[in-house]
A and B are shown apart, each in its own frame.
Chain A
């Protein structure tokens, strides 16, 4: 075990945080949408994947990565608005399984469309030049791009927190997630709020897909994999809880990263083991409210 120095473990911890950052971004959108609309968005992975492909396409047209960081969430968010307005809205009031099945089917349609447009095989996605290489973070050299992923995630979280805590619209979202009826009685058109929340959630998913692209390349199936893992994250963090999604996302990232250091063959299974342990100790997850689905 001589090779497993403190520095190596610390570096692996940072790698876990970068991986966790992607989970966090993915899961907060999922959680925001579920907490507000009680829609389990099975198409969230597809929005993430399309985000990466839109980035790929914009760069092939001559755009740069920085432009994509703005354009991708904007475009995916607009797409999300359209999906909510046209497909999901007619299903409100029909129970949780209708939008679940719809988004499940939609994800297949989106993946198939991408396969038709870009082919079944994946593409590499170049790390932007200024973010290539590694920097010394005290315990060793760490890839600059991963550091950027952690920073960008922190920036998104900060912006989202300020939006939710400091603006009137954020107040409406926080109240509406708890009690949509009283928010309606106080004059708010709740369906408009749901529309915007779905747009924000999908925009963040697209952003996460773009951030993940240089780490792992883009393939049409990339959304399906992270969706399963992100559901684990939301279950551990507590369905509908944003704080829970952040904590659980980072935790899952670190656990995956650490098990791949000590027992690589266990890495894929480790998060499910973690979920099982958390559910035994705390069935509603870290910050979940019991009975949300009943």
Chain B
């Protein structure tokens, strides 16, 4: 579904990603792990088209993405939930969800799809007409995920979804990722909470200083305390 080869990206003069190559197969949950600053977020941003300068190749469903603007990548079935969640201030929960559909061919089924999402996220259903930024961090994270899911993307990229969220909600959220996978959505996950992430992932790549330094099945990595120690301890 997604093949990345020799991906390089820069922030100004700083060379943030160096020859990243990785693959995500249809229906997989693939996890990127590594320390802060290892290049995980930059990898996701490059895939979504949010870096000013990126070179190499990112092929999604057979199409080269790098020359395409971010909005065209969404149209191909790519979704991205940034670390900061980016819930839009001044809009209600419902309006944030509608925003997830404005550019989608599914827009005609707006009411139906919002109803469907409300079934998956009962916490959001109760707060539909509340201003979204007044909700707790966990609820806002749920909303960010719901907003990305509502247009039914083929691949969803999640950046640190568990960050700053109370444990009960984290469990709920990871349960949701499992069911997303069961329904055929492919997930590319960046997560600090390594144990939890590897528990639901199929495979993982370990990043360090802008390069892929290791890759393995999630099970193998869970057992490999040396790798975890070396690249993931904060």
Determine if B50 and A186 form an interchain contact, defined as CB atoms under 8 angstroms apart: no
Q: Does A82 contact B (CB under 8 A)?
A: no
In the complex, the chain B residue whose C-beta lies closest to that of A188 is B103
Q: Does A7 contact B (CB under 8 A)?
A: no
How far, in angstroms, from A178 to B86 measured CA to CA in the complex?
10
Determine if B88 and A179 form an interchain contact, defined as CB atoms under 8 angstroms apart: yes
Determine if A187 and B102 form an interchain contact, defined as CB atoms under 8 angstroms apart: yes
Q: Does A96 contact B (CB under 8 A)?
A: no
* Among A171, A182, A185, A189: residue with most chain B CB under 10 A: A185
Chain A contacts for B74, CB-based, 8 A: 185-187
**26 cross-chain CB contacts under 8 A:** A171-B95, A171-B99, A172-B99, A172-B102, A174-B90, A175-B95, A178-B88, A178-B90, A179-B86, A181-B50, A181-B86, A182-B82, A183-B99, A184-B50, A184-B69, A184-B70, A185-B74, A185-B79, A186-B99, A186-B100, A186-B102, A187-B71, A187-B103, A187-B151, A188-B102, A190-B71
* Among A178, A187, A189: residue with most chain B CB under 10 A: A187
Q: Does A60 contact B (CB under 8 A)?
A: no
Q: In the assembled complex, how far is the CB of residue B205 from the closest CB belonging to chain A, in whole angstroms?
A: 22
Chain A contacts for B152, CB-based, 8 A: none
Chain B contacts for A183, CB-based, 8 A: 99
Chain A contacts for B148, CB-based, 8 A: 186
Q: A175-B99, A187-B74, A187-B151 are in contact. List 13 more A-B contacts (CB 8 A).
A: A168-B98, A174-B88, A175-B95, A181-B50, A181-B86, A182-B99, A185-B50, A185-B70, A185-B86, A186-B103, A186-B151, A187-B75, A188-B103
- Number of residues in B with C-beta < 8 Å to the partner? 26
**A185 and B80 in contact, given A174-B90, A178-B88 (Cβ under 8 angstroms):** yes
Chain B contacts for A174, CB-based, 8 A: 88, 90-91, 95
In the complex, the chain B residue whose C-beta lies closest to that of A184 is B70
Chain B contacts for A188, CB-based, 8 A: 71, 102-103
Chain B contacts for A171, CB-based, 8 A: 91, 95, 98-99, 102
Q: In the assembled complex, how far is the CB of residue A170 from the closest CB belonging to chain B, in whole angstroms?
A: 10
How far, in angstroms, from A161 to B79 measured CA to CA in the complex?
31
How far, in angstroms, from A102 to B42 measured CA to CA in the complex?
34
Determine if B69 and A189 form an interchain contact, defined as CB atoms under 8 angstroms apart: yes
- Number of residues in A with C-beta < 8 Å to the partner? 17
How far, in angstroms, from A182 to B102 measured CA to CA in the complex?
12
Using a CB-CB cutoff of 8 Å, which residues 124-181 of chain A contact chain B?
Answer: 168, 171-172, 174-175, 178-179, 181
Chain A contacts for B3, CB-based, 8 A: none
Determine if B50 and A168 form an interchain contact, defined as CB atoms under 8 angstroms apart: no
How far, in angstroms, from A111 to B82 measured CA to CA in the complex?
47
Contact check: which of A175, A181, A189 meets B91 at CB < 8 Å?
A175
Chain A contacts for B147, CB-based, 8 A: 186
Contact check: which of B48, B91, B95 meets A185 at CB < 8 Å?
B48
Determine if A182 and B88 form an interchain contact, defined as CB atoms under 8 angstroms apart: yes
In the complex, the chain A residue whose C-beta lies closest to that of B151 is A187
- Encode contact with B along A84-127: 1 for CB under 8 Å, 0 otherwise: 00000000000000000000000000000000000000000000
How far, in angstroms, from A172 to B100 measured CA to CA in the complex?
10
How far, in angstroms, from A39 to B98 measured CA to CA in the complex?
27
Q: 7 closest Cβ contacts across the A-B interface? A: A187-B103, A187-B74, A182-B86, A184-B70, A175-B88, A189-B71, A168-B102
**A187 and B104 in contact, given A174-B90, A175-B88 (Cβ under 8 angstroms):** yes
How far, in angstroms, from A181 to B107 measured CA to CA in the complex?
20
Q: Does B89 contact A (CB under 8 A)?
A: yes
Chain A contacts for B99, CB-based, 8 A: 171-172, 175, 182-183, 186
Q: In the assembled complex, how far is the CB of residue A190 from the closest CB belonging to chain B, in whole angstroms?
A: 7
In the complex, the chain A residue whose C-beta lies closest to that of B81 is A185
In the complex, the chain A residue whose C-beta lies closest to that of B52 is A93
